[in-house]
Amino acid sequence: MNKRAKPIVIFDSGVGGLSIYQEIKQVLPHAPVVYCSDIHGFPYGPKPEVEVIERTSLCLNAVAEQFDPSLAVIACNTASTISLPRVREELDFPVVGVVPAIKTASEYSEKRCIGLLATPGTIARRYTDQLIDDFAGDCHVIRVGSSELVQMAEQYLRGEPVSERDLRKILAPFLEGELVPDAVVLGCTHFPLLREALQQLSADIHWIDSGAAIARRVVSLLGPNAFPADSAPQDYFMHTGQAEQVSALVPALENMGFAIVRYLLVEPKGVTPHSHDET
């Protein structure tokens, strides 16, 4: 890794943060990135809040100790909506969170009916209630929390097709009924990875995610010229899982530009790199 440029860390429970990785690489192609995927703790959606906060803190501290980041993005709505105060206190670099784009959906909706598609954790958060009160008080909001859809995105990146039937079943509350939304917030970073399938399901719905806004926020914090244009960074995909949970992902990771896939041992005291590299 280029010694002069401190990397950007992108953290998620699984592959969802790759949707944010792609947006950041579009605007900062020379930024070195360390992606951290807490496969061992996945999924976060159904977990109690204290556990999610603990895992997020452990992983970010471990990766920070090893890589000395310039900034971290918690590319996970489920974690961001509860973990930001804790990790901002612990870490000495900026931490950007990703939260559901309720405001954008409310601004877009002519019907004054919006959808929120997220994890069971995110749709039930007090943080989410507050976002809705603040920005979509006059909208009817249909909330769908689905861990199954998170799994479908994980499988999709491992080369499996998306079942239109399953998708239609999960999204039924947005497709059927008297009042259906004209804008749906993709309040989980896994879901933009399924954008094509979602769009095919309903062209009448505007599917909204936070990726581009997060990338703009990162640029505004680091500056557009933070990374030398002549550098060719090697991006890392660090994960807390077993090799067999990652092997099917490697083609997609290589396609996106990751050069190194490596195990990250997350322990309360810090991190020790595993003895083997997988790529």
Q: Return the active site residues.
A: 76, 188
Residue carrying the six token digits 């990790």 = 87
CA distance 184 to 106: 10
Task: Determine the length of the chain.
Answer: 279
Task: Write down the least CB distance from residue 258 to ligand DGL, Å.
Answer: 18
Q: Which is nearer to ligand DGL, 16 or 233 (CB)?
A: 16
Q: Which is nearer to ligand DGL, 100 or 233 (CB)?
A: 100
Q: Segment 5-44, which members bind ligand DGL (CB under 6 A)? A: 12-14, 16, 42-44
- Nearest Cα neighbor of 193 from 256, 107, 254, 139 is 256
Among 189, 215, 253, 258, binds ligand DGL (CB under 6 A): 189
CA distance 205 to 180: 9
**Is 122 near ligand DGL (CB under 6 A)?**
yes
SS3 content of the chain, % helix, strand, coil (to 5): 45, 20, 35
Sign of CA dihedral 257, 263, 267, 272: negative
Locate all alpha helices (DSSP H) within 158-276, ordered by sequence: 164-170, 172-175, 195-201, 211-222, 243-246, 250-256
Q: Which stretch binds ligand DGL (CB under 6 A): 76-84, 88-96, 127-135, 240-248?
A: 76-84
Q: Which stretch binds ligand DGL (CB under 6 A): 21-29, 168-176, 188-196, 204-212?
A: 188-196
**Is 78 near ligand DGL (CB under 6 A)?**
yes
Q: Segment 190-219, which members bind ligand DGL (CB under 6 A)? A: 190
Q: In this structure, are residues 238 and 262 in contact, taking their beta carbons and an 8 Å threshold?
A: yes
Among 76, 87, 201, 205, binds ligand DGL (CB under 6 A): 76
Task: Write down the least CB distance from residue 44 to ligand DGL, Å.
Answer: 4
- Interface residues with ligand DGL (CB under 6 A) are 12-14, 16, 42-45, 76-78, 119, 122, 147, 150, 188-190
